[in-house]
């Protein structure tokens, strides 16, 4: 536990393996080591093919992959201690190993994601690593100077709640999802966003993930640009799977006013530091929880002002709206009211009765996508969801 405690003092997204790695690397939990003799054999094979000039580079890459895998495994230990089941280690498992002239890959259950969220997170880790190489942070910070002004996301929800007496609506611009497939074939993000806003949405959530949700940052830019032309005022939430602080700066450079952090994925210290970054950028941070343990963790993190309760079970994908009520009962509800934390109800909201149920439980806002984006007229879909026109 001493090792775990020491790692808590540094957010995991700042941990980067050094490139100076010894010839023998032990893998924690596998009682395996890779002797330097295997590297010598590999070097001999490479020298016969490519000459000595490429040997150091290739060996360094192999050893770096091993080290990255080790670091990922250690991060998983820290997360597990906080009840986080989603593993963050690289998806390929230990890299290829060399024994004499032969090459093999060690297979283990850790090479296979246990659910769709874990699969997405593994993909996101490798995707963002590529993006960071193309757009280093120092370059990204220059882009922030050209970003549009930040709009008050939480303030817009509070104003809508006061104006209508109903939860403020965060309407989601979403084409597809892993569980439902394509939700809307004729998908025009700008047209949908404008329909939502004219229907009374206080804010918009825009899916940025391309592989699993068919979203993009370009959609967010297009919606933001169209708002400038048509005087749209809805602040934008970048709905993305944040695993690295770099993504926060990237989202801001694309016009985001708020981001989502998932407690099922991120350790407490990551959430704490990411919230600090967002406050520095004047962005809102929606911290999403799914169960009582995550709610207790998040309420213990300094700076949390905006919490989303997702009614979808991450392992089974089943939806239970009573989850919102359960997480807002008793002492947790008292703490939330005392701190004036805005709570957002998420998933499983399709009817006015659903909205009334979560509002009675204590939410001041709702995030809804599927039930309105599938409507031929999303503006009418908003009115049907609330049982009346909320744009007035």
Domain that holds residue 54: 2-111
Residues 304 and 172 in one domain: yes
- Which pLDDT does position 87 carry in this prediction? 80
Q: How does DSSP assign 282-311, residue by residue?
A: T-EEEEEE-SHHHHHHHHTSTT--EEEEE-
Q: Which residue in 110, 186, 173, 171 sits closest to 384, CA to CA?
A: 171
Q: pLDDT grade, residue 39 (50/70/90)?
A: very low
Cβ contacts of 260 within 8 Å, gap of 6 or more: 237, 238, 239, 240, 242, 286, 288, 308
- Which pLDDT does position 314 carry in this prediction? 77
Q: Is pLDDT above 60 for 370?
A: yes
- Which pLDDT does position 227 carry in this prediction? 80
Tell me phi and psi for residue 208, to 5 degrees: -105, -20
Q: Is pLDDT above 50 for 118?
A: yes
Q: Which residue in 160, 91, 96 sits closest to 126, CA to CA?
A: 91
Domain total of the chain: 2
- Which pLDDT does position 64 carry in this prediction? 57
Residues 232 and 279 in one domain: yes
Does 131 reside within a domain?
A: no
Residues 150 and 238 in one domain: yes
Does 121 reside within a domain?
A: no
Residues 240 and 286 in one domain: yes
- Which pLDDT does position 256 carry in this prediction? 98
Does 130 reside within a domain?
A: no
Q: Which residue in 192, 155, 150 sits closest to 375, CA to CA?
A: 192
Q: How does DSSP assign 109-173, residue by residue?
A: GGGS-SSHHHHHHHHHHHHHHHHHHHS-HHHHHHHHTTSPPP--HHHHHHHHHHHHSSPEEEEEE
**Mean pLDDT, rounded, for 356-379:** 97
Does 150 reside within a domain?
A: yes
Q: Is pLDDT above 50 for 52?
A: no
Q: Which residue in 80, 68, 67 sits closest to 26, CA to CA?
A: 67
Least confident span in 164-178, 229-243, 244-258, 267-281: 229-243
Residues 96 and 155 in one domain: no
- Which pLDDT does position 280 carry in this prediction? 97
The residues facing 177 across adjacent strands are 181
Does 128 reside within a domain?
A: no
Does 331 reside within a domain?
A: yes
Q: Which residue in 359, 80, 152 sits closest to 386, CA to CA?
A: 359
Residues 382 and 329 in one domain: yes
**Mean pLDDT, rounded, for 378-392:** 96
Q: Is pLDDT above 70 for 31?
A: no
Residues 53 and 181 in one domain: no
State pLDDT tens for residues 280-321.
999 999 999 999 999 999 999 999 999 999 999 877 778 999
Does 103 reside within a domain?
A: yes
- 170 touches 153 (CB < 8 A): no
Single out the residue in 95, 111, 127 at which a domain terminates: 111
Q: pLDDT grade, residue 38 (50/70/90)?
A: very low
Q: What is the mean pLDDT of the chain?
A: 83
- N- to C-terminal Cα distance for the chain? 57
Single out the residue in 111, 126, 157 at which a domain terminates: 111
Q: Supply the DSSP symbol for 231.
A: T
Q: Indicate the Cα dihedral angle 206, 133, 91, 297, nearest 10°.
A: -60
C-alpha pair distances (Å), 151 with each of 143, 224, 282, 391: 18, 11, 9, 20
Tell me phi and psi for residue 70, to 5 degrees: -60, -45
Q: Is pLDDT above 70 for 372?
A: yes
Single out the residue in 76, 111, 146 at which a domain terminates: 111
- Which pLDDT does position 37 carry in this prediction? 38
Q: Is pLDDT above 60 for 51?
A: no
Residues 144 and 95 in one domain: no
- Which pLDDT does position 203 carry in this prediction? 98
Does 132 reside within a domain?
A: no
Residues 289 and 360 in one domain: yes
Cβ contacts of 171 within 8 Å, gap of 6 or more: 193, 196, 197, 199, 201, 203, 204, 205, 368, 369, 372, 378, 382
Which CATH number characterizes residue 213's domain? Answer: 3.20.20.70
Residues 231 and 286 in one domain: yes
Cβ contacts of 54 within 8 Å, gap of 6 or more: 46
Residues 96 and 242 in one domain: no
Residues 238 and 329 in one domain: yes
Least confident span in 54-63, 107-116, 212-221, 361-370: 54-63
- 248 touches 274 (CB < 8 A): yes
Least confident span in 16-30, 173-187, 227-241, 330-344: 16-30
Q: Is pLDDT above 70 for 121?
A: yes
Q: pLDDT grade, residue 20 (50/70/90)?
A: very low
């Amino acid at each position: 536990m001493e090792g775990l405690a020491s790692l808590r003092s540094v957010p995991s997204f700042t941990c980067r393996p050094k490139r100076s790695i010894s010839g023998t690397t032990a893998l924690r939990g596998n009682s395996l080591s890779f002797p330097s003799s295997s590297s010598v054999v590999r070097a001999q094979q490479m020298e016969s093919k490519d000459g000595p000039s490429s040997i150091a580079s290739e060996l360094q890459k192999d050893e770096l992959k091993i080290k990255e895998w080790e670091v990922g495994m250690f991060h998983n230990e820290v997360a597990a201690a906080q009840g986080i089941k989603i593993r963050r280690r690289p998806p390929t498992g230990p890299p290829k190993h060399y024994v004499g002239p032969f090459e093999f890959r060690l297979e283990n259950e850790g090479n296979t994601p246990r659910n769709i969220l874990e699969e997405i997170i593994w993909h996101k880790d490798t995707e963002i690593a590529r993006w960071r190489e193309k757009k280093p942070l120092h370059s990204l910070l220059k882009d922030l100077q050209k970003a549009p002004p930040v709009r008050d996301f939480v303030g817009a929800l509070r104003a809508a709640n006061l104006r209508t007496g109903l939860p403020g609506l965060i309407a989601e611009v979403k084409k597809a999802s892993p569980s439902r497939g394509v939700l809307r074939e004729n998908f025009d993000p700008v047209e949908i966003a404008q329909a939502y806003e004219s229907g009374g949405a206080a804010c918009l959530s825009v899916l940025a993930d391309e592989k699993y949700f068919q979203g993009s940052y370009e959609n967010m830019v297009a919606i933001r640009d169209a708002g400038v032309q048509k005087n749209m005022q809805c602040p934008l939430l970048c709905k993305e799977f944040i695993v690295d602080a770099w993504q926060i700066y990237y989202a801001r450079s694309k016009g985001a006013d708020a981001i989502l952090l998932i407690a099922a994925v991120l350790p407490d210290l990551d959430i704490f530091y990411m919230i600090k970054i967002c406050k520095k950028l004047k962005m809102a941070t929606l911290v999403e929880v799914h169960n009582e343990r995550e709610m207790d963790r998040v309420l213990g993190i300094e700076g949390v002002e905006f919490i989303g309760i997702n009614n979808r079970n991450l392992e089974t994908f089943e939806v239970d709206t009573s989850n919102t009520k359960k997480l807002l009962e008793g002492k947790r509800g008292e703490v939330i009211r005392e701190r004036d934390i805005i709570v957002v109800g998420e998933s499983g909201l399709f009817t006015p009765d659903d909205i009334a149920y979560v509002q009675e439980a204590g939410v001041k806002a709702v995030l809804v996508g599927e039930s309105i984006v599938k409507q031929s007229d999303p503006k009418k879909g908003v009115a049907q969801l609330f049982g009346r026109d909320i744009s007035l």
